[in-house]
Amino acid sequence: MKDVILVLGASGQIGTELVLNLRQTYGDSNVIASDIKDAHPDVMASGPFESINVMDGNRIAEVVDKYKVTQVYHLVAMLSATAERMPEKGWALNMESLFHVLNLAKDGKIQKVYWPSSIACFGPNTPKQNTPQHTIMEPSTVYGISKQAGEQWCNYYHHKYGVDVRSIRYPGIISWKSEPGGGTTDYAVEIYYEALRKGEYTSFLDKGTMLPMMYMPDAIRATIGLMDAEAEKVKVRTSYNLAGISFAPEHVAESIQKFIPDFKLDFEPDFRQQIANSWPQIIDDTAARTDWGWAHEYDLDKMTEDMLKNLKVKLGL
């Protein structure tokens, strides 16, 4: 059967690049982008786009039926910082939309589901160094609670109904093409924009706040790599730990200074500091590496060089 892919959340940070990447492999017309708002011009111009509010399960089903969709990448979520401001809305969006997609798979309307979890599924009692795949979780944010619950539902639907659902616990994702929104790790993107625009940045996370991070090309390769893996290799059906690089704001500043020597970094921590303090610092992703061959490519300096090069062009500098 031909693969037809629906990406929910195609206007978001990951969705934008995932759609463009999937279209190269599966063909433009076989990857349907969707979101509640229009996507990046490159996404809108290169293939089909459908307006979908993921809270409306019937609308998702209608689009699945219209294009004979076989796989859904469900990327819509309210991230950690925003969900702390709107806990009930965050919970409803993150959970109800997941059920819509899992139920389509349970009813045999689609064959494969991708749903992202996050390092936010861990909490203050989780070991912070080399955080194991299986460990204490106890998340302390609404976003984290929704990710942990979502992981358990994915696992349940897999074992109970045979749903082929796959998931990764994303670290903070850094990218230049599309910006993140509402996350605790967003500083690691903003810092590059401000380095080029103003030569300085004030970080909302404090010095020494080490968090797991990853450059977008690695995140996209991991996502598609997991979805392309043979089903029997995908042994974890909650969500896979995934590691790239771990750094604190001052480490990014040092890396930027290799290219912009006068760059200055200040710190003004806000409510997001508490969220960051509850998350791991370095993730152990042995299971992903062993089960389906994951390996990251970008270190901090390689990422910085690529970010600055692409952002300069994007910002017309």
Tell me which residues touch ligand AKB (CB under 6 A): 79-80, 118-120, 143, 170, 172, 183-185
**How many Cβ atoms are within 10 Å of 290's Cβ, its own excluded?**
11
Position 88, amino acid: E
Residue nearest to ligand AKB (CB): 183
R_g over Cα of the chain: 19
Judge residue 21's burial from the number of C-beta atoms within 10 Å of its C-beta, 0-12 exposed, 13-18 middle, 19 or more buried: middle
Distant-in-sequence, close-in-space partners of 266: CB < 8 Å, separation ≥ 6: 200, 201, 202, 203
Which of 177, 164, 68, 79 minimizes the C-alpha distance to 120?
79
Taking the complex as a whole, the smallest distance from the CB of residue 124 to ligand AKB amounts, in Å, to 15
> Active-site residues: which are they?
143
249-257 and 300-314 helices, crossing angle to 10°: 70
Taking the complex as a whole, the smallest distance from the CB of residue 80 to ligand AKB amounts, in Å, to 3
Taking the complex as a whole, the smallest distance from the CB of residue 85 to ligand AKB amounts, in Å, to 12
If the CB atoms of residues 47 and 180 are measured against ligand AKB, the closer one turns out to be 180
If the CB atoms of residues 121 and 196 are measured against ligand AKB, the closer one turns out to be 121
If the CB atoms of residues 47 and 139 are measured against ligand AKB, the closer one turns out to be 139
Position 5, amino acid: I
If the CB atoms of residues 83 and 110 are measured against ligand AKB, the closer one turns out to be 83
Taking the complex as a whole, the smallest distance from the CB of residue 251 to ligand AKB amounts, in Å, to 17
Beta-sheet strand order (sheet of 211-215): 172-174, 211-215, 245-247
Taking the complex as a whole, the smallest distance from the CB of residue 2 to ligand AKB amounts, in Å, to 32
What's the helix, strand, coil split of the chain in %, to 5? Answer: 45, 15, 40
If the CB atoms of residues 163 and 219 are measured against ligand AKB, the closer one turns out to be 219
